[in-house]
Amino acid sequence: MSLFRDHWSTEHSFAPSQKKACHVVDFLQYSDRKAAFASTMARVFVYGTLKKGQPNYKHMINTAKGLAKFQGRGHTVEKYPLVIAGKYNIPYMLNIPGTGHHIAGEIYSVDEQMLQFLDEFEGCPDMYQRTLMRIQVVEWEGKGGAGEARAAADGVLECFVYSTATFPPEWVGLPYYDSYDSSGKHGLSYVLRESRE
């Protein structure tokens, strides 16, 4: 994948010097975003449709929505109920600590723009609420600063997680999962937003 956008599609005609200038400008913009990203990142733990191989992962790699860098895998330190609910088969982590399972997911470092996108995408604060939770690191690929490396080595990180405390009471009686896969044996495939009525 190129770090540069292709500014000279068949619709545009640029001289070679203009093409080079576009590359330089794009590289500088990317470098500036990358530098800013390193200083203002937040850690987010995703457990549902935003994970690799799941229906909404495309948003995590869409740089138009912000920057997200995969750091590793983990699970919640506390147990929570993870249910699949509603007519669109949406995964929800119910904010009921001590009930359910240690939920498996992925850890990302995200910039402010991506965090804002995720808030909107997750319907925060109405549908989900973004809260800090302790995540047990199982696999780490991150290359963050010394404090982050030390925290990962200790095995526990604080990450933002989108869970919900605003759910119908009957959801507590649904089956609990420790890991989400839209194509899982549960037979409850997630319905993409663009496919909903």
**CA–CA separation, 81 and 97 (whole Å):** 8
Q: What angle do CA 180, 114, 7 make, to 5 degrees?
A: 115
Per the structure block, which two tokens stand in for 108?
Answer: 């990302």
User: Among residues 11, 122, 139, 141, which one is catalytic?
Assistant: 122
**CA–CA separation, 132 and 8 (whole Å):** 43
Residue 78 has φ and ψ, to the nearest 5°, of -90, 160
Pairing relationship of beta strands 129-140 and 68-76 according to DSSP bridges: antiparallel
Beta carbons of 159 and 135 less than 8 angstroms apart: yes
* Cis peptide bond N-terminal to 97, omega within 30: no
List the end-to-end C-alpha distance of the chain, in Å, as a whole number: 34
| Residue 170: active-site member | no
β-pair partners for 94: 164
A 10 A CB-CB count for 40 gives 12
Q: Which residues are catalytic?
A: 122
